[in-house]
Each structure stands twice: as C-alpha cells, then as structure tokens.
Amino acid sequence: MSASTLPLHNLTVEPKLTVSFRLLLGLYFIIPLCLVLQVADSWFLQGSLKQLLPSSPSHFLLFQILFGTPHIIASSLILVSNRDYIQRYRRSLLLMTAALAIFFGLGSLLLPYKVMYVMVAAWTVYHVLKQQHGIARGVCRLPGWAFQLLLWLSITAGIFIYVGIFLKNSLDVQQAGLIRYMAGGLSFCLVCSAALCQRYCTTTFSRYFLWANVFLVLSSFYLYVQQYYFLAIMIPRLVHDATAYIFYVTHDYNKHHRQAQNFMYRYAAYCNVPIFVVLPLLSFGLAFALQAYGDDAVNLISTTLFEVEIRKAVTVGVLGYLALMHYFTEAFTWKQDSPYRQFIGFSK
C-alpha cells in the first residue's frame, strides 16, 4: 500500500479493529536485529552467513514467496473481490493496463534494458518509502516542505542502493564506486535533514517514528556497503510488507466481520475459517503456487498445444503486471476519500 497523511480521527464509520501505530513502529525492530546479525557474522563467524545467503534476494525462491509477492496478491484480491471497488476504479485499471502495455511494448524496442530496469526500480523504491513516510507523517505532523525533503532524500538514496545491489554484476568498478558515493552522500544529507526537521515533532513517540524511517535507509546503505545484500533488501521489504498486511487484514475484518460481502469470505465463513487468516492464506498460497509452478505449467501447456516454448510467463509477465498495477492502485485506493478508508481506524 501507499499512504498519504494518516490522521488518528475523521473516520467515515467507527471500525471495530484499529491499526496501532505502536505495532507499526515495532516492525522497525528488524533493523537492530539484522545489524546485530551482520556484526556477529563479521566478528565471530568469519562471514559464514554472508557466504550462505544469496547474492541477490531475487535468487532465493523463499524470499519471493515470503516478501513482495504475497502482499501484492493480497492487494489485488481486495480490489477484484469487492464489486464496489471494481466499479469505482474500473476505468483507471483499464487505462493503466493499456499504458503499461504500450510503455513496455515500445520501451523494449527503443530503450536499453538498464534504463527500463532503473525506471521500474525507481517506482518500486518510491512505492515502498512513500508508504512508510506517509504513515509517519500522520504521527509526526511535519510541514509539507519537511515531509517532501525527507521523503525524496530517502527515495533517491534508496534508488542508488537498489541499483547498486541488483545491477552490481553489470557495473564496472568506477560505476559501482560512484553509486556507493552517491548513496552515502544522500544518506548523510538525510540524517542532517532529519536532525533539522525533528523539532516539528511534538512527542517522543513521533520522533521515534521519524528516525525509524531514516534508519530504514541508513541500515540498508550500511549492509549494502558491507555486501550483505540480502539483509539490505530484506529490511525495507519486511517493514513495508508487514505494514501493508496490517492494513489489509484490518480492512477486511472491519468490512466482512458482521456479514461477508464477497465470495472469499462467504466461503471462508462456510468452512469456519477465521477471518484474520483468509487473506494471508490465499495470498501466500497463491504466491507459492505461482512462483514455484506457474512458469512450468504455462510452458507445459504452450509446448503441448502450440509447440511454442514460453519462459517466465508467470514470474515476469503476470506477477510483474500485478506488481506495477499494485504500485499504481495503492497510490489512490487508501487516500482519505477512498471507500477503503471507511474500514480503517487508527490508535496509538
């Protein structure tokens, strides 16, 4: 999800379940845990953990099943399983689908692969960090300029870190060094800007939230420099995905706990499945099936019926499309005037 300012009040209806800001802040505890793990591995285990972890999280199937894909599928399920949401956003979905088809159709012919990759990477980083900063803004109550300053320093630094990790094998020594220097310089500016902006935080709790987002970027930069690439990507992914799931499950409970309003929850009620586990079970189950077996299944069908081999139709085609649509839809489905928001409340 991607959040803008999230106030503690102004709800359309009073939901039974609320999103706890303390719980959201607690997710950032993964940062010191990963840093302790990295230090322990460097000092006492001679880098054994670094050697065991994949050089890129995308090379680790379990990472794809646990992070990223499930929350994208969960977001899609919320949208397509509720008729009122589809009717409201149908035009935007059709237009964006056409825009993506045109962009990638022409882009694959006209633009180098690295340019396309950096553009998608930038959108990914923007989506992840906009969500976290948007939630923090509701707690910190920063003025507009301070919010934008911290947000865009974080995003720009995050893009350099992301590119430095995922394109490291295609970068020469000079390019890799330049990316590290840029990420380091932006991270330093982020710290200085946060020190300047924290005076607008009126409570200790709000300062914690502000600095949690700063350390989200700093910890990824530090682990990137130390070549713990898996941990560098896992930290923001876990915080982002877990935050999104808290919103999704809260939304679905408040929308469906009195009376199931779509086929998923009607069938779950019939099977006596608790409402809290419906969306996680479906999204993680589909993520596993699509990541582990989707490409092979499509390739088997295409070669059997048409004698044409199609590779990565699901993991790149279907899941890639869902990811980009997720980035697009989450930018407006959780805004203040969205029907989603009448099922979300907040507590400290």
State both tokens at 118.
Answer: 């950096």
Which pLDDT value is given to residue 296?
87
pLDDT tens digits along 297-316: 888 888 888 777 888 888 88
Which pLDDT value is given to residue 345?
87
pLDDT tens digits along 43-84: 988 888 888 887 665 666 667 777 778 999 999 999 999 999
Residue 206 within a domain: yes
Residues 6+ apart with CB under 8 A from 268: 260, 275, 278
pLDDT tens digits along 270-305: 999 999 999 999 999 999 999 888 888 888 888 888
Which pLDDT value is given to residue 67?
78
Q: Which residue has the higher pLDDT, 319 or 150?
A: 150
Residue 177 within a domain: yes
Report how many domains make up the chain: 1
pLDDT tens digits along 158-184: 999 999 998 888 888 999 999 999 999
Residue 13 within a domain: no
- pLDDT band, very low/low/confident/very high, at 115 (cuts 50, 70, 90): confident
Spatial distance between the Cα atoms of 283 and 342, rounded to a whole number of angstroms:
23
* Rama region for 272: left / alpha / beta (φ>0; ψ in -120 to 50; rest): left
Tell me, rounded to whole angstroms, the distance of Cα 260 from its chain centroid.
28
Residue 2 within a domain: no
- The model carries a pTM of 0.89
- pLDDT band, very low/low/confident/very high, at 10 (cuts 50, 70, 90): very low
Contact of 151 with 129, CB cutoff 8 Å? yes
Residue 268 within a domain: yes
Residue 10 within a domain: no
Residue 229 within a domain: yes
Per DSSP, 273 falls in state: -
Domain range for 128 is: 19-347
